[in-house]
Structure 1
Amino acid sequence: MNVILFGATGMIGRGVLRECLRDASVTSVLAVGRTPLGVSHPKLRERVQPDPSDLSAPDLDPAAFDACFFCLGVSSVGMKEEAYRRVIYDLTLAVARPLAAANPRLTFVYVSGEGTDSTERGRSMWARVKGKTENDLLELPFQAYMFRPGLIQPLRGVPSKTRLYRSLYALTAPLFPLLRRIAPDLVTTTEALGRAMIAVATPGTAVPGRVLRTRDINRLGTASIRHN
């Protein structure tokens, strides 16, 4: 499996990258972003560019990938809807459309979040924008899956880029084992997210639908990993 990964410098993307590099079914990973990862691995290539959605480079063939794991996002705190939409909707679809046109067999996994508004008419700005993004991705001619995790526990030293979130994770880390016992359908991990993405992109995996919530992610993420 050849993977193109967006958002690998973030908490979720970093966890997904780790699982891709560990899994023998993943042959190569191209990480596209604005800043270097600072990671070296035989399977990993990086493309650092100001516009992550620019897939026009001569050495970048959109048809060469089996899966796209799209983990790129931003917190909506303090943002106006227009600015948030440019990052969440415009950037995502600018990547997805040429990939779908080049390879309808590609699996595209998009990370939104629990509470995403599929009606696009709710009061929550971030939920409307992500709902619109999900809906339009599902209309494209490839195999798209929407991941809607709830609480995410970062594992294996994977940090959040947001200072506030880092502080919250540090404070709540002792509670995660308890939360996972009493509310397993509300809490997942960066490790489970990465494994679940690989699972849905693997031919023959039984996937319960196109929109996957925490329970589905955890079930798919418990599949045994194929180590290199």
Structure 2
Amino acid sequence: MLTGATGMVGSSVLAALLNEKTAREIVSLGRRPCNMNQPKLTDVRFAAFGDTQAIEAYLDGIDTVFHCLATYSARVSRTEYEEITVDWMRALLVACERSAPGVTFCLFSAQGAGSVGGGMSFALKIKGEAESKLFASDLERKFAFRPGYIAPSGPRNTWKKGDYLLKPLQRLMPSIGVTSDELAHAMLQTAMHDPRRTAVLENAELRTLLG
């Protein structure tokens, strides 16, 4: 299962899953449709992210969840940001605990998010709260991914203003972050091959998975 498949990171994860032979079926829950005709993709336009029972209906047979649903803190109020980042994820976690407790759960988080709600900004504190909810859950395997700067792998018309400065810098200094495709690769490699049951992967560890 993938959430947020139309976002920058989610679209890269979706592309990686479509190319992964061992991924036999992909269920995408998103606020907007992917608009892809792929035989192994079930594309669900989904608005009930806070409804645990509505989510449970799509968990049959799911062994891995990539939760990439996110929003920019500058675009919404703090209350809305917390609802999307924490409350919606909590509903997804409860649904997994009830219907698919053996799943591997991969959370797209952010550099600077504290595992107990740390960070310098309200957004990072809320990201940290989301991580805390994940690691307090009863799921068998759970990972949080904290990339640095994420350079968009998509076309230039998807770039934000800061990307025109930071994307060339990231090419010169790869250690400052990863591309969205690189992050997707690292997330899949972790879900499929990491022997740990739980871990937070910082930017440096993500880069070690790119070889």
Structure-2 residue corresponding to 1:96: 93
The higher-RCO structure (CA 8 Å, 6+ apart) is 1
- The Cα shift of 1:83 comes to 2.3
- TM-score after normalising by structure 2: 0.88
**What's 1:173 paired with?**
167
| 1-structure distance, mates of 2:65, 2:156 | 20
Higher deviation after alignment, 43-52 or 24-33: 43-52
Contact 1:108 1:144 in 2 (8 A): yes
Report the 3-state secondary structure (helix = DSSP H, G, I; strand = E; otherwise coil) of the residue aligned with 2:124.
helix
Partners of 1:61 and 1:31 lie apart in 2 by 9
Q: RMSD of aligned C-alpha atoms?
A: 2.5
Q: SS state of the match for residue 166, structure 1?
A: coil
Change (3 A) 1:122 1:193: closer
- Asked whether 1:73 is paired with 2:70, we answer yes
Q: What residue is the counterpart of 2:186 in the other structure?
A: 196
Asked whether the 8 Å contact 2:26–2:41 carries over to 1, the reply is yes
TM-score, normalization: structure 1?
Answer: 0.82
**How many Å separate the matches in 1 of 2:80 and 2:190?**
31
Q: CA contact under 8 A between 1:208 and 1:216: conserved in structure 2?
A: no
Q: Deviations over 1:156-186 (max 9, x none)?
A: 53864xxxx5232234433321021xxx2x2
State the Cα deviation string for residues 77-136 of structure 1 (Å, max 9, x = none): 264432221111001111111112222210001111001123326552111111111011
Aligned counterpart in structure 2 of residue 152 of structure 1, from 131, 150, 153: 150
Q: Is the 8 A contact 1:11 1:158 kept in 2?
A: no
1:7 Cα offset (Å): 0.4
Gaps of 5+ in 1: 223-228
- The percent of aligned pairs where both chains have the same amino acid is 27
> Residue 226 of structure 1 aligns with which residue?
none
Tell me how far apart the structure 2 counterparts of residues 20 and 116 of structure 1 sit (CA, whole Å).
26
1:211 is matched with 200
Give the whole-Å Cα distance in 1 for the aligned partners of 2:196 and 2:157.
29
Which one has a larger percent helix, Structure 1 or Structure 2? Answer: 2
